[in-house]
């Protein structure tokens, strides 16, 4: 019978394989990228070897976790580099599932491994597939000039595309080292726009708990007003606020919490603050805080 440590390392291997699969669409031919891919492959093989050991020490696991974190930090630099953003785009119908920036069980006890695996690998994947199909069908309609089904496919694009884009932000809105309060310019802006951090947190929580049926709570930057705001969305795209940039997201669809919290959405929302990734929110805010339209 496999030990819990063996099962955990086995899951690390599976996580590594899912990341590798998600990187197939990235076209880079630099020496740094090739070196990173080799280092990641070596890490995965090391994890596989450790998973086969009869005895796995805490030091073995900590070493694998530390190496994985360093590799992910470098990967994020590749994904957010100016050169990559300026020269790359996603071809029509070729969106891919982004890797989780942590292991499936990294957010426990606040969000269970089972939920994260199901949420990421199945629910988010379905949005990616739905968006790709909608884009391909719309492209086909343009070629044929037959637009009888355009309303249907535009709705599919809105639903699945919003689901994919919001989840991609959502995974990075959380961290196993999260919690606490924001710092720097983001905290100052929250205090200015909401009166205090505690007032913001209270209203954001109430907004998340108030969503009818399924949807999201969002902290957004309003380009037309030049300030932060709280908004909710039903499903992914309904009752939403336009001309804004999301800074921090909370998914309150039932699949995000029901397996662990049953119908206690409020408990899920309250616990979520322990894993909020304020560092990511600060980075997003710092990139958009000077971006505004003419104010009205």
CATH of the domain at 154: 1.10.287.990
Q: Tell me: do 191 and 278 sit in the same domain.
A: yes
Can you give the pLDDT at residue 145? 84
Can you give the pLDDT at residue 228? 98
Q: Tell me: do 81 and 9 sit in the same domain.
A: yes
Q: How many distinct structural domains can be found in the chain?
A: 3
Residue 144 belongs to domain spanning: 113-172
Q: Tell me: do 188 and 234 sit in the same domain.
A: yes
Per-residue pLDDT reduced to its tens digit, 251-290: 999 999 999 999 999 999 999 999 999 999 999 999 999 9
In the predicted model, is pLDDT for residue 116 greater than 50? yes
Per-residue pLDDT reduced to its tens digit, 172-214: 999 999 999 999 999 999 999 999 999 999 999 999 999 999 9
- Residue 100 belongs to some domain of the structure: no
Per-residue pLDDT reduced to its tens digit, 10-58: 888 888 877 777 676 565 667 777 888 888 888 888 888 888 888 888 8
Can you give the pLDDT at residue 83? 45
Per-residue pLDDT reduced to its tens digit, 81-92: 544 454 578 999
- Residue 107 belongs to some domain of the structure: no
- Residue 252 belongs to some domain of the structure: yes
Q: Tell me: do 246 and 199 sit in the same domain.
A: yes
Can you give the pLDDT at residue 86? 47
Which residues lie below 8 Å from residue 192, measured CB to CB, with a gap of 6+? Answer: 227
Are 189 and 266 in contact by the 8 Å Cβ rule? The answer is: no
Are 282 and 185 in contact by the 8 Å Cβ rule? The answer is: yes
Q: Tell me: do 40 and 61 sit in the same domain.
A: yes
List the structure tokens of 231: 């908004």
In whole angstroms, what is the distance from residue 246 CA to residue 172 CA? 12
Provide the 3-class DSSP secondary structure of residue 41.
helix
- Residue 108 belongs to some domain of the structure: no
CB-facing half-sphere around the CA of 38: CA atoms within 13 A: 6
Q: What is the CA radius of gyration of the chain?
A: 21
Specify the CATH number for the domain of residue 201: 3.55.40.20
Question: Where is the domain boundary, 123, 140, 172?
Answer: 172
- Residue 294 belongs to some domain of the structure: no
Are 255 and 248 in contact by the 8 Å Cβ rule? The answer is: no
Q: What is the value of pTM for the model shown?
A: 0.74
- Residue 245 belongs to some domain of the structure: yes
Provide the 3-class DSSP secondary structure of residue 280.
helix
Q: Tell me: do 283 and 199 sit in the same domain.
A: yes
Q: Tell me: do 119 and 37 sit in the same domain.
A: no
Q: Tell me: do 259 and 237 sit in the same domain.
A: yes
- Residue 271 belongs to some domain of the structure: yes
Which residues lie below 8 Å from residue 57, measured CB to CB, with a gap of 6+? Answer: none
- Residue 57 belongs to some domain of the structure: yes
Which residues lie below 8 Å from residue 106, measured CB to CB, with a gap of 6+? Answer: 116, 176
Q: Tell me: do 143 and 52 sit in the same domain.
A: no
List the structure tokens of 204: 């954001």
Closest CA to 267 of 248, 247, 252: 252
Q: Tell me: do 59 and 121 sit in the same domain.
A: no
Q: Tell me: do 220 and 283 sit in the same domain.
A: yes
CB atoms closer than 10 angstroms to residue 227: 14
């Amino acid at each position: 019978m496999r030990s819990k440590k063996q099962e955990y390392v086995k899951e690390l291997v599976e996580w590594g394989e899912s990341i590798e699969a998600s990187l197939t669409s990235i076209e880079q031919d630099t020496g740094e990228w090739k070196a990173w891919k080799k280092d990641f492959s070596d890490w995965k093989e090391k994890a596989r070897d450790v998973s086969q050991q009869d005895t796995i020490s805490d030091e073995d696991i900590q070493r694998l976790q530390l190496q994985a974190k360093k590799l992910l930090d470098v990967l994020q630099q590749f994904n957010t580099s100016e050169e990559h953003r300026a020269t790359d785009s996603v071809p029509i119908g070729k969106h891919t599932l982004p890797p989780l920036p942590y292991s499936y069980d990294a957010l426990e006890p606040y969000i269970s491994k089972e939920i994260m695996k199901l949420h990421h690998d199945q629910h988010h994947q379905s949005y990616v597939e739905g968006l790709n199909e909608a884009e391909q069908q719309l492209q086909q309609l343009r070629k044929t000039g037959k637009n009888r089904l355009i309303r249907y496919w535009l709705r599919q694009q809105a639903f699945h595309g919003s689901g994919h884009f919001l989840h991609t932000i959502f995974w990075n809105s959380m961290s196993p080292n999260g919690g606490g309060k924001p710092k720097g310019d983001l905290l100052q802006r929250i205090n200015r726009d909401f009166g205090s951090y505690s007032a913001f947190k209270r209203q954001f929580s109430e907004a998340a708990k108030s969503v009818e049926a399924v949807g999201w709570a969002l902290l957004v930057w309003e380009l037309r007003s030049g300030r932060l705001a709280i908004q909710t969305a039903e499903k992914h795209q309904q009752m939403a606020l336009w001309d804004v940039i999301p800074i921090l997201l909370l998914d309150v669809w039932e699949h995000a919490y029901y397996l662990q919290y049953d119908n206690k959405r409020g408990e899920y929302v309250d616990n979520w603050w322990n894993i909020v990734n304020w560092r990511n929110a600060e980075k997003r805010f710092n990139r958009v805080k000077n971006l505004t339209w003419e104010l009205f």
